[in-house]
Amino acid sequence: MKKFGRVINNASLKNYNTYKIDARCKYLIFINDQNKLRDLLDYLNKISVKYFILGNGSNIILPDYYDGVVIKLELNPFFIESNTITVGASYMLNKLANITVKESLKGLEWAAGIPGTVGGSVIGNASCYEESLMPLIIKLEVLDNGVLKTITTNDFNYSYRHTTLKDDKIIILKATFKLDSGNKEELLEIIKDRTKKRVGSQPLEYPSAGSVFKNPEGYFAGKLIEDSGLKGYRLGGAEISEKHANFIINKEDATSQDIKALIKYIRNKVFEKYGINLILEQEIIN
């Protein structure tokens, strides 16, 4: 596999997931060319070896061991022309948001605190403050079952923090956004204000993967969990945050099993009390 990119055998993924789970995988490979990515996937499919694409690891729960290939993309091109920006899938969304604001471009300021890659954020239709990525996208360059394609948002369905791109296992290579002109000082003030609120309300001092559950219609998942008396509840090294109940934090060497067991416990308790099935926002990698 070395002809496709840099390969690490029996690799630790602790520094590649925001939960900081000390997960390991059989092979970790770094790919910086979309053609090599296509060739690698074709090769892995032919020899029946499982794989998954790892972004920033900010919305996933890794297994303690993955008996396959973890692919870390390094696709970071950046092009800006007037109000149009094209970036590679590996480009960080929060970095993109901050750069566009400095260019006096309005539309992505809400994403300045989202620690995910552009590719992962598009696949999951990242959203915050009642804003989302989809209205900003002009086109996507993707790998669809080994075929390079250019698509638009008319070519797939999307909803709150979900797209059918994920269901169809389409891989994002580049995304092109169209933004509006804005007032840089006003946009910077919005980011400053929201950053202050986020620091005060979220457990950023501990490893986590962001919001665990989607908000049910008409409710806030964190409030349901808090009112179920679960703040601070702990299983192994995983704990429900005292600061925000819709965050599970790695308090002390949490394992994948600790986190998954705590998720199951939360779901059961909220359903017992409210009859509401909480929908997991984070992706469990098996």
Catalytic residue IDs: 161, 211, 281
Q: How far is CA 1 from the centre of its chain?
A: 26
Distance CA 133, CA 118 (A): 10
Packing angle, helices 184-201 and 93-102, rounded to 10: 150
Amino acid at the residue 196: K
Distance CA 41, CA 275 (A): 43
Question: Are β-strands 105-106 and 180-181 bridged in parallel, bridged antiparallel, or unpaired?
Answer: antiparallel
Distance CA 270, CA 144 (A): 38
DSSP string covering 136-156: GEEEEEEEETTEEEEE-GGGS
Distance CA 127, CA 114 (A): 9
Neighbours of 254 (CB within 10 A): 25
Neighbours of 251 (CB within 10 A): 18
Neighbours of 82 (CB within 10 A): 10
Contact 221, 241 (CB under 8 A): no
